[in-house]
Amino acid sequence: MTGIAKSPEELALMEAAKRVLPAGGFGNFPADIVIRSGKGGHVQDVSGNDYIDYLLGSGPMFIGHDHPAVTEAVLAQIPKGTTFFANNEHGIRLAEAIVDAVPCAEQVRFLTSGTEADFYAMRLARAYRGRPKIVKFEGGYHGMSDWALMSLAPKRLANFPEAVPDSPGIPDALRNDVLVAPYNDIEAAVRLIEAHQDEIGGVIMEPLQRLIPPKPGFLQAVREVTARLGIPLIFDEVVTGFRFAYGGAQEYYGVTPDICTMGKIVGGGFPLSAIGGKREIMALFDKAAVGEERFLTQIGTLSGNPVAAVAGLATLEVLRAPGTYEKVFATGRSLMDGIVTLIAEAGIPAQCVGEPVLFDVVYAEGDLRDYRSMLRQDAAMQKHVNTVLRARGILKGDSKYYVSTAHTAADIAQTLDAFRAALASLPATRKVA
């Protein structure tokens, strides 16, 4: 495929979107494509074009679209009821499965989005410790709440620990409640936490920050200082949960937080997220256990709904099958290795950053260890390559390849052919002499 033709039907839908949706889209992916269906590791647009899908709905479709086990479970549940605003069998079973799988999760509370989970996890930590401030790491993404949208992608690089709001509409006073540290800097993180220990309610971090893996000892150092000072450590595992290992990034990296948030995979492609944590911390959601003054109210109309719960249970059952993680990591590693070889052959100043199941090509040389070092990347080169990939039937986000259990060797070969063509189309001035 060397070009993507648009049918009159898809073009008409895009025009309709411009009339009724701000910027013509849902605010997620560029609005120049309308997806109609997905199967396995592929999606199809309204015009009938097929794409190898490395977007995966921004990650949830880890076992592929329309997996038979998930589809069967959902279709069996729908006639029995889609939500009850009360306990249901499947939500309880899913909570049991999470507690069995995730090292830090002694109890679970359900929500419907990653933003909600991260928001409540920060509130939970503050309430538990009785302190107002949250420490986060510059460039870390924790959803769309006011607290999370501090120094995610700051337009102005401030001195640490100053927080920079990423959006209008955030009250300026909230800046004082967020302390920002550089990711992968052990000395700076420990020093900041120690210096503000009496103000800090919790520390939140992505174990793998967007694409950037933790340097050896970094997660362990943050865990040590927070444990020593009695400050709750939150791992945002909305992306990494059940992706890096069945027990998430905390299993993969061997570091256990006090609280974690989960989403995407755990709902099997349906709206569901969760907070998991130590029993004594999660007790704040139980008025009978902690009393009126310490009780933390959390209500969600669709939280733990049975349709999402059965989808999550079916997904986790698939992931428990022997060899599942070995296979998907091998698939991702073959794609990464192939891309690294093509980069070297083409003489392109670029590198793969991330883990085999979640990575991207960053068009920069040198050590990429934090948000500021990632700013060195050549955004124009990345955009050009991604555009050529799309024209050749490869669908990915601006900055991620999500690899699924459904991707095949043929998918990897086609992706590498497209990537080779994309590199060949770069101007000679973009290449290393």
Candidate list 120, 128, 141, 252, residue with the active-site label: 141
Is residue 146 flagged as an active site residue?
no
Task: Look over the chain and give the mean of its residue pLDDT values, rounded to a whole number.
Answer: 96
- State residue 427's pLDDT score: 81
The 10 Å CB-count burial string (b at 16+, else e) for 177-188 is bbbbbbbbbbee
Q: How far apart are CA 64 and CA 85, in angstroms?
A: 29
Q: Is the pLDDT of residue 96 over 70?
A: yes
Neighbours of 75 (CB within 10 A): 11
Q: What mean pLDDT do residues 20-49 have?
A: 96
Is residue 136 flagged as an active site residue?
no
- Name the pTM for this structure: 0.96
Tens digits of residue pLDDT in 19-34? 999 999 999 999 999 9
User: In the chain, where are the structural domains located?
Assistant: 68-319
3.40.50.1000, 1.10.1060.10, 3.30.470.30, 3.40.640.10: which CATH number matches 68-319?
3.40.640.10
Q: What mean pLDDT do residues 130-143 have?
A: 97
Q: How far apart are CA 290 and CA 284, in angstroms?
A: 6
- State residue 433's pLDDT score: 44
Environment class of residue 103 by beta-carbon count within 10 Å: exposed (0-12), middle (13-18) or buried (19+)? middle
At residue 371 the predicted structure's pLDDT band, cuts being 50, 70 and 90, is: very high
Candidate list 45, 185, 236, 360, residue with the active-site label: 236
Q: What mean pLDDT do residues 383-395 have?
A: 96
Q: Are 341 and 412 in contact (CB under 8 A)?
A: no
Token pair recorded at residue 290: 């902690």
- Any idea how long the chain is? 433
- State residue 428's pLDDT score: 66
Q: How far apart are CA 324 and CA 322, in angstroms?
A: 6
Is residue 120 flagged as an active site residue?
no
Q: Is the pLDDT of residue 429 over 80?
A: no
- State residue 101's pLDDT score: 98
Q: Is the pLDDT of residue 90 over 80?
A: yes
Q: Is the pLDDT of residue 432 over 60?
A: no
- State residue 424's pLDDT score: 95
In 3-state terms the chain splits into helix, strand, coil percentages (rounded to 5) of 40, 15, 40
Q: What percent of the chain has pLDDT over 70?
A: 98
Candidate list 53, 136, 252, 264, residue with the active-site label: 264
Residue whose pair of structure tokens reads 């907070």 in the numeric block: 275
Tens digits of residue pLDDT in 205-240? 999 999 999 999 999 999 999 999 999 999 999 999
